[in-house]
Structure 1
Amino acid sequence: MISKRTFKWIYAGLWILRICFALLGTGYIHPDEHMQNGEVTSGDLLAYHTIRTWEWSTALPLRSIVPAFTTTGIPVWFVKFFLSKKHLTQGVQPALLFRLERFAFLVISGLLDYSLMNLVSPPSDRRLGLLLLASSHITNTFQVRPFSNSIEAVLVALSLALSRKINSVKTVEKSYFLHLLAITFVTGIFTRPTFLIFGAPIAYQVALRTFTCAGTATRWLRLVVPPFFTAAVVCAAFLVADTLYFRGTLDDLVVTPVNFLKYNFSSHNLAEHGLHPRWLHVFVNLPMLFGPWVLWLAVRAIVDCTTSFGEKNGKSFEVDILCPTIIQMIILSLTVLSMQPHQEPRFLVPLLLPIIVLITNTGRLACVGKAFWVSCSIFNLVLAVLFGILHQGGVVPSLFHLHSVVADASLGTRTSIIYWKTYIPPLHFLGVDGRDVTSDIISFTDLAGASQDDFVASISAGDYNRTFIVTPVAMWSTLPPALTNCMELDKAIFPHLDLDHIPESMDAGVLDGLRLGVYTLAPKCIFV
């Protein structure tokens, strides 16, 4: 068993590591970490040129603006207000903007730790659970990035903590926590409607326990009806905010959760984002997120709970009520999410805290040895470095570099910026005024995975004073000499791991295979 002093040192070290991954790690996991949050709020608040994806279309908006504005919008607004008071004309710099977003989610991730402390009773077990949570690569990557799944995971954790409070306090105090739970549930549904899948077992257990505590149907209704009114008020607030944001008036009501479900129930729409086998969540995504050792402990914990179902024997509340609730959550979420043909690992991120709580409260975590902790630490560190630092790690720094180049440019210099063979760049980190793009002073083109012919055609088009091309050095090596001779390396950014073009990266060598190049195109150079 770990001592209290040793725990403090290790836990503090893991928090320092989390801070470093949050503020310094420029790894780029998935475009949604930017496109579902910071790209929208920065475009609205700072008038930067940004890309608004299909989820934010005014015709059928799928995302509520409230979670995005609350998490990244408010910090940006405060900094913008502070800078305007100081009469600074440069505005919010992209590097500062990047760290503001990450810091906001770093703070929010602490709610997972808080929830775990309220869900695990014995201090010794609680310490082990906190170490497993803090060392998880999910905590150090997904949870410190502005994913909607990260917000959903925190709301699921808070809902579990509130359910424990509701089921363990007196009747008078239950009402307060029921109101908080109602607010959390509505926020979760408007953040991601999939929250309903994770929250349904919690709602069922809370309804069952409050009815048992009330004794009669009349007293139970008196207890639960006021929180339903609270939920209705909060829901109305979300509807008004979203409708005003997307429509400008309240004439045409916008219900983003309904739009979200309509879109995702269409197989045609899901096919545009990629179709996966139904077994991917269980056999690939779960092991990749949590590791085989943690999953094995979770299976053992589930067996422990199911085999002793109905036996009291002095069991604690956590084992008697909380663990069955978590088991129901795991089974229901895996079943429903696996029915969808589009399956990404981040959809299962909300299961992190419930799984850790489950194996901790059943005593399984206290029985493991050093081999478990060493293997888990290596697994999590490797994946944290892979996704937190290496994966597409040059895209965001390249935008910082281009911002400094464009900002220092003389007035009237027409500039073209082209990205090829990278993830879609989050343009709020480029930090250019939308009016400069509208007036064609600055042109931006994302070629994504376009063919070499389309790439050549794109850089041949237009009449600009200068052209910047951002592409992995490995992909530059595949271009014909006539073109590479016209491209001069302005800045090489390391590290940048491109998992979509592994053969080309291996052919380029270890160093060039892990670099992203910012090239300048020589003017009037003949390459076609």
Structure 2
Amino acid sequence: MTGDHFQLEHVRTWEFNNTMPVRSITIQFLLLRIPWSFFEFFALYMRQYFAIELLRSYTYLVFPRLIMCALSFVNDWSLYRICRLFSLNYEIRLLALSSSWVMLIFGTRTFSNTIELALCSLMLSLVAECMIKTNTVIYKKEMLEERYDNAKSISERVKMWRLCKSLPAHNYTHTLLVASISVAGVFNRPTFLVYGAPMVFHWLLRGMGTKTITFRDFNLRILLFCISALPALVFFIVCDSFYYKYLTGGELQMLQLSINNFVSTPWNFIKYNLDSKNTAEHGIHPKYVHLLVNMPLLFNVLGIVAIVSFGRLLIRFFRADYQSLPRAQSIISLMTSAIFVPFFFLSLINHQEARFLLPILLPIVLMHAPKLHHGLCPTYPFKEEHPLMRKIYSTVLCTQVSAKPLLKTWYMCNIGLVIFFGFIHQAGVVPLTQHFENVMLEKSPAQHIHLITSHIYNVPLTLVNVPSSQVLHLNRETGQRYRRHKDFYIYEYGSLKMDQLLGKIKLILSHCETKYNTKQQKYSLYLALPAPLSDDLAAKLRTSKASSYMRAQLIRVFYPHVSTEILPHFLSTGHNSTITKDTMLSYDYVSKQLLSFLRQFGLELYEVQIQRNSHTAKHHMQKISKKMA
């Protein structure tokens, strides 16, 4: 959205292609494109009157995150609202939510899962409000009807009748809101189907089983829900159709419309993911990854407690101990189904990432956050008094034993994960883009910049702040339109082996020498890779023929940075020659190894150059050029 709005070089991912778009653009447009318009207007006056340039790489990074941070407070409000409705202690729950690394990191990032988290939280609060309102009204109505039947005088019956008629309507509360949020959630991410299904079901089910609510009301709720969803459905389809150029203003004005003028991105998403070959391209994970890895990773002790608690419910169910199970229309049932219904269906999908489980954060916190303060089990949980059971409870489950370790573990895990994923993991990518923003501003107009990356995330080109070469730009002073020549190229090679990466560098270097090494045009070639690969790069350059004509000069290191594709190794190969037991215990050796280990927490940037005075270089470049031709 930032690249589109400011006409910058950016990468449009495959989900947003015009041929078969599988992701809706409407929510992203409303959340970011419209605020960008106001910010651009403000930045224009800051530039003109105060000579302050606000449209920089840092702004492109932070401004969308501020919007997502503001959106994340929907989760806090929803949790607080539910706690107040059901008279629950909201302090420990809000404390657990705000200290969770999921909120601090994922909640402030531009993930569609973050939007899905906010929509699920809002939906839960609305459904919970409808449930408590329906239960309260039905209870009062049945009580008044009973008093009406038992009344001995006409005046008392009239009074009961009037009180019964004055009760507020509850049957179709928030129908339009619930339906619209459901549609918005599905268009944002079609996985909202499995997240919203248990919530909508509880919204439809409330009050069933009483004298007041019958199957007729249930069916009317379904009908009204479907009708209320139509405006939002039409809005999203029309907006997406305009954005992806399936529908134009002229066609709409002339009413020359057909089914091909409209696009339904959730349907395309479902069709795409029904093919197992397509999902396999993004990675195949075992079915237990969400259970054993992602759940503990995201929610640590609360995730484990949630799984154990659900296991206890299943044991009670299979033992036919139905009296110990929560009622179908209770808040516990709503939150339990909001956790484990989507958890079950998402575990059936081949591709499983931790961020897919973000929306279950609020129900997990609501259900189990008090255990951080009160312990795993405040009261003795077993029906029969047994010495072994009593000992297990006294040593593991009781409040005095389990409360403090749980709270400490919660805080320590979240602090560690915030530091790692917020400040260390792939943290050098953003400073790298800001560095190349300055490079592009300071270079001469005839110079071309080429960047090769390996073992790091894809570089967000928008943050490099390079005007797009694919669109027509407007010169505001002359009013003329022009097209800008491409002068920034990036080659991203994932996790190639060093031999293969060196081959790619040779080809790109040869291409640059052939095309740009003239009096009119110049070039600079850079290589960015994690610091643990520096020894491997130096060794390969020394042993290969490339050392005779090519050199890689380290110009900058961005700290901190860790790539899980190539983790830092403690024992550096540069100090391993003739090592003895006494040497390993020496202060000098240990300090060198420690410094070498710490240096690996960085992203190194090299400038790759040709040795101009080398006859071998000219001969080798000519040889590669002939092969390329």
Residue of structure 1 equivalent to 2:22: 62
**For 2:468 and 2:188, how far apart are their aligned partners in 1?**
28
1:353 and 2:358 equivalent?
no
Change (3 A) 1:173 1:409: farther
Once the two structures are superposed, the pairs formed by residues 479-490 of structure 1 within 5 Å of their partners are 479=537, 480-481=541-542, 482=547, 486-490=551-555
Matched AA of 1:489: L
Residue of structure 2 equivalent to 1:521: 608
Deviation at 1:173, TM superposition (A): 5.6
Matched AA of 1:149: N
TM-score, structure 1 as length reference: 0.83
Change (3 A) 1:223 1:273: closer
1:374 and 2:408 equivalent?
yes
**For 2:350 and 2:314, how far apart are their aligned partners in 1?**
31
1:246 and 2:257 equivalent?
no
**For 1:139 and 1:66, how far apart are their aligned partners in 2?**
24
Q: Secondary structure at the match of 1:229?
A: helix
Deviation at 1:76, TM superposition (A): 2.2
Q: Secondary structure at the match of 1:499?
A: coil
Gaps of 5+ in 2: 138-167, 249-259, 379-398, 471-482, 517-521, 574-595, 621-629
Larger radius of gyration: 2
CA contact (8 A) 2:532 2:568 kept: no
Q: Secondary structure at the match of 2:169?
A: helix
CA contact (8 A) 1:498 1:505 kept: no
CA displacement 1:42-93 (0-9 Å, x = unmatched): 1210111111111111111111001222333333222123223555596621
Matched AA of 2:94: L
**For 1:139 and 1:487, how far apart are their aligned partners in 2?**
41
Deviation at 1:435, TM superposition (A): 1.8
Residue of structure 2 equivalent to 1:498: 563
Once the two structures are superposed, the pairs formed by residues 5-84 of structure 1 within 5 Å of their partners are 41-84=1-44
Change (3 A) 1:410 1:382: same
Q: Secondary structure at the match of 1:468?
A: strand
Q: Secondary structure at the match of 1:469?
A: strand
1:105 and 2:68 equivalent?
yes
Matched AA of 1:78: F
CA contact (8 A) 1:488 1:520 kept: yes
Once the two structures are superposed, the pairs formed by residues 277-292 of structure 1 within 5 Å of their partners are 277-292=286-301
Q: Which has the higher contact order (CA 8 A, sep 6+)?
A: 1
Once the two structures are superposed, the pairs formed by residues 407-486 of structure 1 within 5 Å of their partners are 407-435=441-469, 439-450=485-496, 451-452=500-501, 453-462=503-512, 463=516, 464-479=522-537, 480-481=541-542, 482=547, 486=551
Matched AA of 1:486: R
Q: Secondary structure at the match of 2:536?
A: coil
Instruction: Out of 277-286 and 471-480, give the one that drifted further.
Output: 471-480
Deviation at 1:492, TM superposition (A): 1.4
Residue of structure 2 equivalent to 1:323: 332
Deviation at 1:277, TM superposition (A): 0.9
CA contact (8 A) 2:375 2:406 kept: no
**For 2:203 and 2:571, how far apart are their aligned partners in 1?**
55
**For 1:490 and 1:408, how far apart are their aligned partners in 2?**
16
Change (3 A) 1:384 1:86: closer
Instruction: Out of 402-411 and 191-200, give the one that drifted further.
Output: 402-411
**For 1:263 and 1:85, how far apart are their aligned partners in 2?**
46
Change (3 A) 1:353 1:471: same
Residue of structure 1 equivalent to 2:176: 179
Residue of structure 2 equivalent to 1:205: 202
Residue of structure 2 equivalent to 1:383: 417
CA displacement 1:187-244 (0-9 Å, x = unmatched): 1101111111111111111101165686345555666644433311101100001111
Residue of structure 1 equivalent to 2:283: 274
Shift >6 Å, 4+ stretches: 361-366
Q: Give me the identity figure in percent.
A: 26
Matched AA of 2:505: F
Matched AA of 1:465: Y
Deviation at 1:380, TM superposition (A): 1.0
Deviation at 1:142, TM superposition (A): 1.2
Instruction: Out of 320-329 and 482-491, give the one that drifted further.
Output: 482-491
Residue of structure 1 equivalent to 2:129: 165
**For 2:342 and 2:90, how far apart are their aligned partners in 1?**
25
CA contact (8 A) 2:560 2:602 kept: yes
**For 2:571 and 2:276, how far apart are their aligned partners in 1?**
37
Matched AA of 2:132: S
**For 1:364 and 1:96, how far apart are their aligned partners in 2?**
44
